[in-house]
Amino acid sequence: MERFSRLDWVSITLSVAATLVGVAVLYGGGITGEDLAQRKLIWLILCVVAMLVFANINYQLLGSFAPIIYAVGILVLLLVLVPFIGKEVKGARSWLRIGSLGFQPAEFMKLVVVITLSKYLVLRESEIGKLKELIIPAVLVTIPALLIGVQPDLGGAVMFMAILFGMLFIGGANTAVLFGFAIIGFFAVFTPMFLEYERYIIVDDVYNALREEHFRLADAVRILNFEVWEVAENLNYNTRLVQDKTLVTWAKETLSQGENLKIFWQTAAEIEKKSPSFLRDMLRNTTVMVAIGGTGIFFYGLGVLGNFMTGAPWMRRIGNIALIVGLSFSSGFMSNKFINFKPHQVIRIVSFVNPDKFQKGAGYQLRHSLITVGSGKFAGKGLFKGDMTKGDTPFLPEWYNDFIFSVVGEQLGFWGSAMLLLLLFGLILRAINIAVTSKDDFGAMLASGIALIFFLHVFINIGISLGLMPVTGIPLSFVSYGGSHMLLCFVCVGILINIYRRRFINA
């Protein structure tokens, strides 16, 4: 009876309540939603069992076996990339299937990374403020992030980097150094993505400029659409287009003809000249990027030398700022040369920046999400009474996973959405409280990392649904349909319960 009373009923109640909200909203989503709701209830039973198992396994063992757990996690991520083992879904090879059961190893790798970083940060607590101590954590997170990125799953990879920075901040790393690395990482991602975005938004202009005198070439551009750039640069590029393959093949052959290819590039260049962009031209200019990068690194050297000779700390600070600028432009230049963002990844940025410009293309999902969540107004249409998710072709596609919050807004309105947020953020605050009251540093770091996982999923998913962040395919913890993430969430709750219970033992 005492073991029963020492369970953390607050965490259990909040997590189960949020899950039941997801079940209810799914059930109101038509025939498809009813089937998903029934499956989610079955998953809930399995997840509660898993939660109770981890609630009774000493969390200290997770720290002791952290290297083995991490190695197994990396091995499983490698297996996903093997064609006859990993299963490809919607263009991403991110699933493993055991019999009829499929799961995403990337979801569980988030907890593996949190466990590994927690153990490392506790062991190196007194040294973590030094720059060299950040190398190992960065490597530990970069490896799975790269393996997930090549699936390809850019959103999942970015999530791992966010976990890295959050854990390092919690662990006491130098905030100035973290801020500098964040700026450098932003430039590395922003530069190639921005340049691809600049090319994407002129596709319609290229088509309109060609259709009068070069109508066949214009038709080829229209068919290939946003993938026209990849085809023009690599004539053997295999498109992701799902329309008539004969038509796509004709478009590729038409574009690849010598004179047509020359006309295409000339037309694109002329259109860009009519719409000058200082940022675009600077980021594309190899000389400028290398010059700024090299100058920043050079002035860093002068700052270090000046500080060494005079002892003036301001010279070192200026040198550090110059280093950040230099490495930012260098990382942007290098990533633009070696990173090739997929067209569907660029679409997500386009839909975030300007969804109305591409109402039937890139911005379709986001616009329909905003309409859906807004249709519920304050009181909502009523539980089970939503109509944006029903039918063979629902108004809001993929609503049951990444855009489940929009459906919550439709059925339950502003007040129902607010209550759901209270449940989710209540659980996050509970995890923080467990971290603060933990009797050992590893338990505190582990609970903090779990709170970070929950927070990132809630913050990013709701931001996507409301048009505040680019679409990245991040589920809403406990609420979205999806067994892998739901199981991860309840395993995390089980670990929180374990940390909560162990404080009585340690006391």
Contact between 499 and 115 under an 8 Å Cβ cutoff? The reply is: no
| 3-state SS track over 444-464 | HHHHHHHHHHHHHHHHHHHHH
Select from 57, 78, 103 the last residue of a domain. 57
72/168 same-domain check? yes
Give pLDDT, residue 14. 94
Does residue 232 share a domain with residue 151?
Answer: no
100 shares its domain with 129: yes
Do residues 152 and 98 share a domain? Answer: yes
Q: Residue 362 corresponds to which tokens in the numbers above? A: 């890139």
pTM exceeds cut of 0.75: yes
164 lies in a domain?
yes
What tokens does 391 get?
A: 């039918």
- The answer as to whether 280 is a domain residue is no
pLDDT computed for residue 179 by the predictor: 86
Q: What is the β-pairing status of strands 86-89 and 92-98?
A: antiparallel
Q: How does pLDDT run along the chain (507 residues), one tens digit per residue? A: 556 657 788 999 999 999 999 998 888 777 777 888 888 899 999 999 999 999 888 888 998 898 999 999 999 888 887 777 767 666 566 667 766 666 788 888 999 999 999 999 988 877 777 767 788 888 888 888 888 877 767 777 888 888 998 998 888 888 888 888 888 888 888 888 888 888 888 888 888 888 888 888 888 888 888 788 888 887 777 776 656 678 888 888 888 887 888 988 999 889 988 888 888 889 888 899 999 999 998 998 898 888 888 888 888 888 888 988 998 999 888 888 876 666 566 666 666 666 665 555 556 777 778 888 888 788 878 777 777 777 667 777 777 778 888 888 888 888 989 999 999 999 999 999 999 988 888 999 999 999 999 999 999 989 888 877 777 778 889 998 887 889 999 999 999 999 988 776 544
In a domain, 461, yes or no: no
Would you call 373 helix, strand, or coil by DSSP? helix
Six token digits for residue 419: 């209550």
On whether both 53 and 66 belong to a single domain, the answer is no
Count: domains in the chain: 3
Instruction: Map residue 341 onto helix, strand or coil.
Output: coil
Residue 197 near residue 346, CB atoms below 8 Å: yes
Q: Do the Cβ atoms of 53 and 39 come closer than 8 Å? A: no
Of the chain, the end-to-end C-alpha distance in Å amounts to 19
Same domain as 66, residue 51: no
Smallest Cα–Cα separation from 252: which of 228, 274, 272? 228
Report how far residue 263's alpha carbon sits from residue 255's, in angstroms, rounded to the nearest whole number: 9
Residues 116 and 154 in one domain: yes
Judge whether 485 lies within some domain.
Answer: no
Task: Give the whole-angstrom CA distance, residue 217 versus residue 220.
Answer: 5
Does 229 lie in the same domain as 127? no
Based on the fold, state whether residues 92 and 121 are members of the same structural domain: yes
Alpha helices in 201-312 (DSSP H): 203-210, 215-224, 228-233, 245-256, 258-274, 278-284, 286-310
Same structural domain, 64 and 52? no
Residue 225 region by backbone torsions, left for phi larger than 0, else alpha for psi between -120 and 50, else beta: left
What is the pLDDT, as a whole number, of residue 361? 55
* Residue 507, pLDDT score: 44
Query: Does a structural domain hold residue 230?
Result: yes
Residue 35 falls within a domain, yes or no? yes
In a domain, 65, yes or no: yes
- What element of type H or E holds 86? strand 86-89
Cβ-contact 10, 374 below 8 angstroms: no
Residue 326 lies in a domain: no
- Cα distance between residue 364 and residue 351, in whole Å: 8
Domain with 264, as residue range(s), is 203-274
pLDDT score, position 69: 92
Task: Please tell me whether residues 149 and 210 are part of one structural domain.
Answer: no
| Dist. CA 170–CA 451, nearest whole Å | 11
Residue type, 211: R
**In the numeric block, which tokens belong to residue 302?**
């002068």
Half-sphere exposure (Cβ direction) of 246: Cα atoms closer than 13 Å: 0
CA 121 – CA 159 distance, rounded (Å): 19
Q: How many CA atoms lie within 13 A of 369 on its CB side?
A: 29
C-alpha 131 chain-centroid distance: 26
Helix axes 404-437, 9-27, angle to 10 degrees: 170
Residue 113 has what pLDDT?
A: 93
Residue 109 sits in the same domain as residue 46: no
